[in-house]
Amino acid sequence: MKSIYAIIVAAGRGSRFGGDLPKQYTPLGKAVVLTHTVRAFLSHPKIAGVRVLIHPDDRVLYESAVEGLELLAPAFGGKSRQESVFNGLQSVAGFNPDLVLIHDAARPFVSVDVIDRVIEATTSGVGVIPALPVTDTLKREVEGYCADTVDRTSLWRAQTPQGFVFQDIYPAHQQLSGKELTDDAALMEAVGKSVRFVMGHEDNFKITTQDDLVQAQRIMAEMTEFRTGSGFDVHRFCEGDHVTLCGVDVPHSEGLAGHSDADVALHALTDAVLGAIAAGDIGTHFPPTDPQWKGASSDRFLTHACKLVREKGGQVINLDVTIICERPKVGPYRDDMRKRVADICGLDLDRVSVKGTTTEKLGFTGRSEGIAAQAVATVKL
């Protein structure tokens, strides 16, 4: 299997973009532009490592953008894009890569399919550019007037990542150091190496102006995914003087049996949140056979589940739990329960619902043998 490294160029100042921040650090959805770009390459199974080239003044912005992501240490860019890429190639030379992908940080919507096409074509030993054929009519301008129409038949709009055999692109940069060429494919052309096209994608555009950012925000909104998870739990009554429901101690003539604090409602909510992100169940993360969880407060379980959602770049949107029992009565404690769940998950109160119901004296809950709870969680990713 070939060793493939990605170099993301993020050292530019973005003078055409304007604003207080370089465009790669501009907020986009729940992260910044660079975060989305980096994740696209980190998640690709064929890429061995990702190196980001940054401006020396942007170290704090960079560290915030990639917090929690497993990247190679950043390298500093140069005075031009070409110099920055050369620095990046030097920084990965010690890994002896077979192929290298060079990508603009301001293209956050590069897809797995585009990356795959570039890798597949590059393995044949040529340079590769993802590109789109020009479809608009092109006009040549002279002093503000239309001079003539340009034949667009063989014209393409170049994108990134551009893929190269490392032992081709590195010497090309060394040979043409100091010359100013528009992209890395131009260097390959200048030293007589072949460069071929693969199909790019319209969404893989470069954020250059504020209008581009508006388009990116529109795409990000369309990409938002909502997921739903459900949870169900049961605990039987045992000796005791209270039960814990949604993190609230409710006086009762009996307690609930369980390895932890037996908070049946928080257990159901935890499973619902885990289910929404397909992360197993509460027993997977907190095995009842593990003595460290004996008597543990169940808010730790729900806190962990919400943390996993955030690590995926997601957000818990709504929680709804129904507590099923003949006794004790849930109503007098409902507001306290909602507030406690909201505090655990960092949610507004109006995003948490707690309900109580009975089974009309039917079944084990109807016989007052225990309490059941079922929950639904909605998560935005």
pLDDT digits (tens, 9 = 90+) for 190-226: 999 999 999 999 999 999 999 999 999 999 888 778 9
Beta-carbon contacts of 323 under 8 Å, excluding residues fewer than 6 positions away, are 245, 246, 264, 265, 330, 354, 355, 356, 357, 371, 372, 373
Q: Considering the chain, what percentage of its residues have pLDDT values greater than 70?
A: 99
pLDDT of residue 262: 96
pLDDT of residue 311: 84
pLDDT of residue 15: 64
pLDDT of residue 125: 83
Q: In this structure, which amino acid lies at residue 151? A: D
How far apart are alpha carbons 80 and 173 in whole angstroms?
13
Q: What is the DSSP string of 227-256?
A: EEEEEEEEEEEES-SEEEETTEEEE-SSEE
What's the rounded mean pLDDT across residues 349-358?
A: 97
What's the rounded mean pLDDT across residues 69-77?
A: 94
The Cα-based distances of 255 to 73, 232, 250, 326 in angstroms read 53, 19, 10, 14
How far apart are alpha carbons 20 and 58 in whole angstroms?
13
Closest by CA position to 354, among listed 330, 379, 326: 330
Give the pLDDT confidence of 115-162 residue by residue, as tens digits: 999 999 998 889 999 999 999 999 999 999 999 999 988 999 999 999
The Cα-based distances of 30 to 27, 48, 274 in angstroms read 7, 26, 20
pLDDT of residue 181: 85
Confidence of residue 355 (pLDDT cuts 50, 70, 90): very high
Phi then psi for residue 199, to 5 deg, are -70, 130
- Please indicate whether residue 238 or residue 183 has the higher confidence score (pLDDT): 238
How far apart are alpha carbons 184 and 284 in whole angstroms?
48
How many helices (H) and strands (E) are present in the chain, helices listed first?
12, 19
Task: Give the mean pLDDT of the chain.
Answer: 93
Task: Classify burial at 141, counting beta carbons within 10 Å of its beta carbon; exposed 0-12, middle 13-18, buried 19 or more.
Answer: exposed
Task: Classify burial at 346, counting beta carbons within 10 Å of its beta carbon; exposed 0-12, middle 13-18, buried 19 or more.
Answer: exposed
For the cut 90, the answer to whether the pLDDT of residue 360 exceeds it is yes
Q: Domain map of the chain by residue range?
A: 4-223, 226-380
How far apart are alpha carbons 277 and 271 in whole angstroms?
10
How far apart are alpha carbons 42 and 46 in whole angstroms?
9
The Cα-based distances of 140 to 42, 94, 156 in angstroms read 41, 46, 16
What are the tokens at 357? 């119901």
pLDDT of residue 158: 95
pLDDT of residue 312: 82
Assign a CATH topology to domain 4-223. Spore Coat Polysaccharide Biosynthesis Protein SpsA; Chain A (3.90.550)
Instruction: Find out whether 50 and 71 touch, Cβ atoms under 8 Å.
Output: yes
How far apart are alpha carbons 86 and 39 in whole angstroms?
23
How far apart are alpha carbons 169 and 117 in whole angstroms?
19
The C-alpha angle with vertex 82 and arms to 38 and 78, in degrees rounded to 5, equals: 80
Bridge-based pairing state of the strands 4-10 and 49-54: parallel
Confidence of residue 369 (pLDDT cuts 50, 70, 90): very high
Confidence of residue 327 (pLDDT cuts 50, 70, 90): very high
The CATH number, out of the four listed (3.30.1330.50, 3.40.190.10, 3.10.129.10, 3.40.50.300), of the domain defined by the range 226-380: 3.30.1330.50
What's the rounded mean pLDDT across residues 171-180?
A: 88
Q: Which residues of 58-126 form beta strands (DSSP E)?
A: 75-76, 99-104
pLDDT of residue 220: 87
